[in-house]
Structure 1
Amino acid sequence: MRHVADIPHPDMKLTLLAWNGKYLLKCEQGSLEQTYKVSEMDLLGADADLPKLLDDTFVAAVLRRFADMRADFAAALERQDLV
Protein backbone atom coordinates (compact mmCIF):
# COMPACT_ATOMS: atom_id res chain seq x y z
CA MET A 1 0.00 0.00 0.00
CA ARG A 2 1.38 3.36 -1.03
CA HIS A 3 0.62 6.62 0.77
CA VAL A 4 -0.37 9.23 -1.82
CA ALA A 5 -1.48 12.23 0.23
CA ASP A 6 -2.86 13.58 3.46
CA ILE A 7 -5.78 15.89 2.79
CA PRO A 8 -6.30 18.62 5.38
CA HIS A 9 -9.70 18.81 7.03
CA PRO A 10 -10.64 20.31 10.42
CA ASP A 11 -13.12 17.60 11.47
CA MET A 12 -11.50 14.35 10.33
CA LYS A 13 -8.31 12.82 9.06
CA LEU A 14 -8.35 12.17 5.30
CA THR A 15 -5.69 9.96 3.73
CA LEU A 16 -5.36 8.93 0.10
CA LEU A 17 -3.68 5.57 -0.50
CA ALA A 18 -2.99 3.54 -3.63
CA TRP A 19 -3.23 -0.24 -3.59
CA ASN A 20 -3.92 -2.99 -6.08
CA GLY A 21 -5.10 -0.71 -8.90
CA LYS A 22 -7.35 1.32 -6.61
CA TYR A 23 -7.23 4.58 -4.73
CA LEU A 24 -8.46 4.30 -1.17
CA LEU A 25 -9.83 7.40 0.51
CA LYS A 26 -9.60 6.73 4.22
CA CYS A 27 -11.70 8.98 6.47
CA GLU A 28 -11.05 8.77 10.22
CA GLN A 29 -12.68 10.43 13.19
CA GLY A 30 -11.60 9.16 16.59
CA SER A 31 -11.94 5.37 16.65
CA LEU A 32 -14.23 5.30 13.61
CA GLU A 33 -13.17 4.84 10.00
CA GLN A 34 -14.78 4.93 6.56
CA THR A 35 -12.94 3.82 3.44
CA TYR A 36 -13.96 4.52 -0.14
CA LYS A 37 -12.30 2.57 -2.96
CA VAL A 38 -12.08 3.97 -6.49
CA SER A 39 -10.43 2.36 -9.48
CA GLU A 40 -7.27 4.19 -10.57
CA MET A 41 -8.78 4.17 -14.07
CA ASP A 42 -11.72 6.24 -12.80
CA LEU A 43 -9.40 8.86 -11.28
CA LEU A 44 -6.59 9.17 -13.77
CA GLY A 45 -5.44 12.41 -12.21
CA ALA A 46 -6.07 11.86 -8.52
CA ASP A 47 -4.41 15.16 -7.68
CA ALA A 48 -6.84 17.00 -9.92
CA ASP A 49 -9.98 14.82 -9.65
CA LEU A 50 -10.03 14.04 -5.94
CA PRO A 51 -10.75 17.58 -4.72
CA LYS A 52 -13.80 17.59 -7.00
CA LEU A 53 -15.13 14.51 -5.20
CA LEU A 54 -14.55 16.04 -1.77
CA ASP A 55 -17.19 18.71 -2.20
CA ASP A 56 -19.28 20.08 0.66
CA THR A 57 -22.12 17.62 0.05
CA PHE A 58 -19.87 14.55 0.18
CA VAL A 59 -17.97 15.74 3.26
CA ALA A 60 -21.22 16.56 5.07
CA ALA A 61 -22.53 13.05 4.32
CA VAL A 62 -19.33 11.47 5.64
CA LEU A 63 -19.57 13.49 8.86
CA ARG A 64 -23.27 12.55 9.29
CA ARG A 65 -22.33 8.91 8.77
CA PHE A 66 -19.72 9.20 11.54
CA ALA A 67 -22.41 10.58 13.86
CA ASP A 68 -24.72 7.69 12.92
CA MET A 69 -21.93 5.14 13.43
CA ARG A 70 -21.16 6.58 16.87
CA ALA A 71 -24.85 6.49 17.84
CA ASP A 72 -25.28 2.93 16.57
CA PHE A 73 -22.27 1.73 18.54
CA ALA A 74 -23.36 3.52 21.72
CA ALA A 75 -26.84 2.00 21.37
CA ALA A 76 -25.37 -1.50 20.96
CA LEU A 77 -23.23 -1.02 24.06
CA GLU A 78 -26.26 0.15 26.00
CA ARG A 79 -28.44 -2.78 24.84
CA GLN A 80 -25.80 -5.19 26.08
CA ASP A 81 -25.31 -3.30 29.37
CA LEU A 82 -21.68 -2.62 28.51
CA VAL A 83 -21.70 1.05 29.51
Structure 2
Amino acid sequence: MRVVKEFTKEGIRVSIFNWNNKFLIKFELGPLEQTFKVSELDVLVEDDLEQFYKGEFFDKVMLRFKEMGQSLQNQLQNL
Protein backbone atom coordinates (compact mmCIF):
# COMPACT_ATOMS: atom_id res chain seq x y z
CA MET A 1 0.00 0.00 0.00
CA ARG A 2 1.41 3.36 -1.02
CA VAL A 3 0.56 6.57 0.82
CA VAL A 4 -0.32 9.21 -1.77
CA LYS A 5 -1.19 12.04 0.59
CA GLU A 6 -2.09 12.73 4.24
CA PHE A 7 -3.36 15.97 5.76
CA THR A 8 -5.98 17.48 8.07
CA LYS A 9 -8.82 19.66 6.85
CA GLU A 10 -11.35 21.27 9.20
CA GLY A 11 -10.41 18.79 11.92
CA ILE A 12 -10.86 15.76 9.68
CA ARG A 13 -7.84 13.59 8.94
CA VAL A 14 -7.67 12.76 5.21
CA SER A 15 -5.47 9.91 3.98
CA ILE A 16 -5.20 8.80 0.37
CA PHE A 17 -3.67 5.43 -0.42
CA ASN A 18 -3.01 3.52 -3.62
CA TRP A 19 -3.57 -0.23 -3.33
CA ASN A 20 -4.70 -3.07 -5.62
CA ASN A 21 -5.44 -0.76 -8.56
CA LYS A 22 -7.62 1.44 -6.37
CA PHE A 23 -7.33 4.71 -4.53
CA LEU A 24 -8.60 4.53 -0.96
CA ILE A 25 -9.75 7.90 0.33
CA LYS A 26 -10.09 7.74 4.09
CA PHE A 27 -11.63 10.41 6.31
CA GLU A 28 -11.24 10.17 10.10
CA LEU A 29 -12.85 12.21 12.85
CA GLY A 30 -12.39 10.97 16.42
CA PRO A 31 -13.66 7.38 16.65
CA LEU A 32 -15.40 7.59 13.26
CA GLU A 33 -14.11 6.94 9.77
CA GLN A 34 -15.37 6.85 6.21
CA THR A 35 -13.48 5.15 3.39
CA PHE A 36 -14.19 5.39 -0.31
CA LYS A 37 -12.58 3.09 -2.88
CA VAL A 38 -12.10 4.50 -6.37
CA SER A 39 -10.74 2.51 -9.29
CA GLU A 40 -7.50 3.83 -10.79
CA LEU A 41 -9.31 3.67 -14.14
CA ASP A 42 -11.73 6.39 -12.96
CA VAL A 43 -8.92 8.82 -12.09
CA LEU A 44 -6.90 10.27 -14.96
CA VAL A 45 -4.24 11.89 -12.75
CA GLU A 46 -3.74 11.87 -8.97
CA ASP A 47 -4.57 15.58 -8.83
CA ASP A 48 -8.15 14.64 -9.77
CA LEU A 49 -8.49 13.15 -6.28
CA GLU A 50 -8.69 16.71 -4.91
CA GLN A 51 -12.38 16.69 -5.90
CA PHE A 52 -12.99 14.27 -3.02
CA TYR A 53 -11.83 16.71 -0.34
CA LYS A 54 -13.30 19.90 -1.73
CA GLY A 55 -16.75 21.32 -2.34
CA GLU A 56 -19.99 19.38 -2.12
CA PHE A 57 -18.41 15.94 -1.66
CA PHE A 58 -16.45 17.07 1.40
CA ASP A 59 -19.50 18.92 2.75
CA LYS A 60 -21.45 15.66 2.60
CA VAL A 61 -18.61 13.80 4.36
CA MET A 62 -18.81 16.35 7.18
CA LEU A 63 -22.60 16.01 7.37
CA ARG A 64 -22.31 12.22 7.45
CA PHE A 65 -19.84 12.47 10.35
CA LYS A 66 -22.42 14.52 12.30
CA GLU A 67 -25.07 11.88 11.60
CA MET A 68 -22.71 9.03 12.53
CA GLY A 69 -21.68 10.80 15.73
CA GLN A 70 -25.30 11.32 16.74
CA SER A 71 -26.13 7.66 16.01
CA LEU A 72 -23.19 6.50 18.09
CA GLN A 73 -24.12 8.83 20.94
CA ASN A 74 -27.74 7.60 20.89
CA GLN A 75 -26.65 3.97 20.92
CA LEU A 76 -24.22 4.49 23.79
CA GLN A 77 -27.02 6.09 25.84
CA ASN A 78 -29.15 2.99 25.25
CA LEU A 79 -26.60 0.53 26.65
How far 1:6 sits from its partner (Å)?
Answer: 1.3
Residue 24 of structure 1: aligned partner: 24
Instruction: Give TM-score scaled by structure 2 length.
Output: 0.89
Question: Equivalents in 1 of 2:71, 2:25: separation in Å?
Answer: 23
Residue 64 of structure 1: aligned partner: 63
Equivalent pair of 1:7/1:16 in contact (CA under 8 Å): no
How far 1:52 sits from its partner (Å)?
Answer: 2.7
Matches within 5 A, 1:31-46: 31-46=31-46
Give, as a single letter, the amino acid of the residue that structure 2 aligns with 1:33. E
Q: Which has the higher contact order (CA 8 A, sep 6+)?
A: 2
Residue 2 of structure 1: aligned partner: 2
How far 1:9 sits from its partner (Å)?
Answer: 1.2
Percent of aligned positions that are identical: 35
In the TM superposition, structure 1's runs of 4+ consecutive aligned residues that sit over 6 Å from their partners are none
Paired positions, count: 79
Bigger radius of gyration among the two: 1
Q: Residues 74 and 8 (structure 1 numbering): CA distance in 2 closer, same or farther, change over 3 Å?
A: closer
Question: Equivalents in 1 of 2:36, 2:77: separation in Å?
Answer: 29
Q: Gapped runs of 5+ residues in structure 1? A: none
| Structure ranking higher in strand proportion | 2
How far 1:8 sits from its partner (Å)?
Answer: 4.1
CA RMSD, Structure 1 to Structure 2 (Å): 1.3
Equivalent pair of 2:51/2:57 in contact (CA under 8 Å): no
